[in-house]
Amino acid sequence: MKFLNKKTNIDFVGKRKIAFVFSLSLIVISIITLVAQDLNYGLDFTGGTLIEVSYPTAPEVSDVRAHLADAGMSDSIVQVFGTPNDIVVRIPPRENEESNAEISTVVLAALQEGVEGEIVMRRVEFVGPQVGDELTEQGILAVVYALIGIFLYVMMRFQWRFSVGAVAALVHDIIITMGILALVQIEFDLTVVAALLAVIGYSLNDTIVLFDRIRENFPRLRKSSPLEVVNISVNETLSRTLMTSMTTLLVLTALFIFGGEIIHAFAFTLIVGVVIGTYSSIYVASTVLLELGVSKYDLMAVEKEGVAVDANP
């Protein structure tokens, strides 16, 4: 099945300078946003207590904050979660360790003031500061190890120039995606880290398909320049790229709209990552490959070895 019925001949590589400026601008803006505003770290990384309660009727968030402030918890964060009747309270780590076991009781008593009917406590989660620090370190290491493994795999599967192009595209995707997360202040927790790793896998898959077509076309189009070979390869894989991206986005959009608050950040991160990853596979990975001077001579040796092996019965 093809997304495009006609064979395309779009000059993607000819627009690589414009794409480079665009990507560089997005990266700079993302880094500035991350430094100036930082991510909205969830309980997994900051530590503290999360309490989810359900009111009999929709409360005023300002009244909830006032009741918590009267109970000595003015630093707590109050958010509507799912329906207007459901409230989530996030409380930063407290120095008195004994209070952590009793904090849910104190919060529930504070929230119950002035409310007709009974408030139902749905869940309580507590993460210590040390656990939060460990999860932060492990999350960063997970992304770094993934990039190192990808670099080595692509280098063995193709050639070192392809490795640099693939990793450059993935770093591009991660920085811009995290910049957007910081800009819109989506809660950054372990599910978002999982989504970032999924984005790496998705973007890499797109890039590998393109690289494989480039490797096939270099021996086949020997009279064409590297720029022409890359451009033809991008056009030949364009239909497959768009089909994969569109079907994936349809599923993620449905998940984002109907999946509820629990999956909201995960789905949003994947939507942003798929869009950025599709763009980077076409422009960033192939552009880096050309800038590093890839040519048919880099791949001819591999092709000759394959022919030699096939020639022996």
Query: d(Cα 201, Cα 150) in Å, to the nearest integer?
Result: 9
On the question of pLDDT at 136 being above 80, the answer is no
When pLDDT is averaged across residues 253-258 and rounded to a whole number, the result is 88
On the question of pLDDT at 261 being above 60, the answer is yes
Tokens representing residue 158 in the block: 């193709």
On the question of pLDDT at 125 being above 60, the answer is yes
Query: d(Cα 312, Cα 302) in Å, to the nearest integer?
Result: 16
Query: d(Cα 163, Cα 289) in Å, to the nearest integer?
Result: 9
Which residues lie closer than 8 Å to 181 by C-beta, 6 or more apart? Answer: 39, 40, 188, 192, 268, 269, 272
Q: At the topology level of CATH, where does 48-127 sit?
A: Alpha-Beta Plaits (3.30.70)
Query: d(Cα 141, Cα 149) in Å, to the nearest integer?
Result: 12
Question: Residue 51's pLDDT is what?
Answer: 83
Tokens representing residue 54 in the block: 């359900």
The domain limits of the chain are 13-41+132-311, 48-127
Which residues lie closer than 8 Å to 203 by C-beta, 6 or more apart? Answer: 169, 170, 173, 273, 276, 277, 278, 280, 281
Yes or no: say if 290 and 227 are a contact pair by the CB < 8 Å rule: yes
When pLDDT is averaged across residues 253-272 and rounded to a whole number, the result is 86
DSSP string, 57-81: SPPPHHHHHHHHHHTT-TT-EEEE-
Q: Is the dihedral of CA 157, 162, 163, 169 positive or negative?
A: negative
- Residue 309's pLDDT band (boundaries 50, 70, 90)? very low
On the question of pLDDT at 243 being above 80, the answer is yes
Q: What's the chain's average pLDDT?
A: 80
On the question of pLDDT at 66 being above 70, the answer is yes
Which of 105-119, 149-163, 206-220 has the least mean pLDDT?
105-119
- Residue 276's pLDDT band (boundaries 50, 70, 90)? very high
Q: Are strands 77-80 and 86-91 parallel, antiparallel or unpaired?
A: antiparallel
Query: d(Cα 159, Cα 162) in Å, to the nearest integer?
Result: 5
Q: Rounded to whole angstroms, what are the CA distances from 248 to 3, 68, 106, 270?
A: 14, 42, 45, 9
Output the CATH code of domain 13-41+132-311: 1.20.1640.10
Render pLDDT for 146-184 as a digit per residue (tens, 0 to 9).
888 888 888 888 778 888 888 899 999 999 999 999 998
More confident residue, 266 or 109: 266
Q: What is the pTM of this model?
A: 0.78
* b/e 201-228 (16+ beta carbons within 10 angstroms → b): ebbbebbbbbbebbbebbbeeeeeebee
Amino acid letter at 233? Answer: S
* Stated length of the chain: 313
